[in-house]
Structure 1
């Protein structure tokens, strides 16, 4: 099972990449059987603001990067979507990336990691609604990172015991909801 860890922030000095690197390392250390993880960094993808002539649900992809993005997303069976909370919502880069496609999201399990002033709860609430509309299977697996502003002082994200246990539960739920 291939799980993409989607870095939903493109800002300079972003925390999402630190969290994604921790998720990648921790899933390897937890040694899940038949699990592969890969970081998908939206900053590297640099998707222009979606302005296609056809709605993505049509499956007609007319922007150059749109088909490349579709081909990449189609490979995964599940997603861990990481988003900061911006103004009581989730990042516009992540919304844009989700809006680019239609069928590639459908029937695949999703989990959510958020952080911010309310530990990312508002961000996660909104992204779950959009994910459900796109056909992602909500595995009900969520990690809200507490005290991110105090803890984000180094180059790496240092998870606590609760977060490690929650990540393990997230992977288990993604496996459970994975349709083979």
Structure 2
């Protein structure tokens, strides 16, 4: 929630500056550099706002438990170690409370498999922390595009106006060079 308060305040500030500059630029002539500057300010502010929203991330902590593949792999590895132990040392006699019995390869594999399963279960459980975006790209990506359009559109309109002014200046100079006696005037298309 702490990340959204500055985002909302920043959006309100952009809207306030846009309204202020819009009122101020209405008094300026259409081809004024002031209008271009105001559009660049608003475009840059929208781009910064989109970038700010893109950087907002949160963390999610999840409990991770091992899958069946990990449990099966641990049990199989333990069983394999139990079998290799039985092959290496042979049958082991175990005495429990006065009764003795022999532990062969099957029991060794069972004990090893149980210990491998337990080891993979205990080793695979844990907490995993992930960083997730708080604002979806479906929201901030169009803001970046809009900001670029406003920012770059201002300079493009300014270039078109300058080209039109240059053409009018060239036409007026061509009309002056015709002389006062010539009634034929060059007109703009």
TM interval, shorter chain, is under 0.3
Q: Given the two structures, how large is their TM-score scaled by the length of structure 1?
A: 0.20
More strand by share: 1
More helix by share: 2
Higher relative contact order (CA 8 A, sep 6+): 2
Q: Given the two structures, how large is their TM-score scaled by the length of structure 2?
A: 0.19
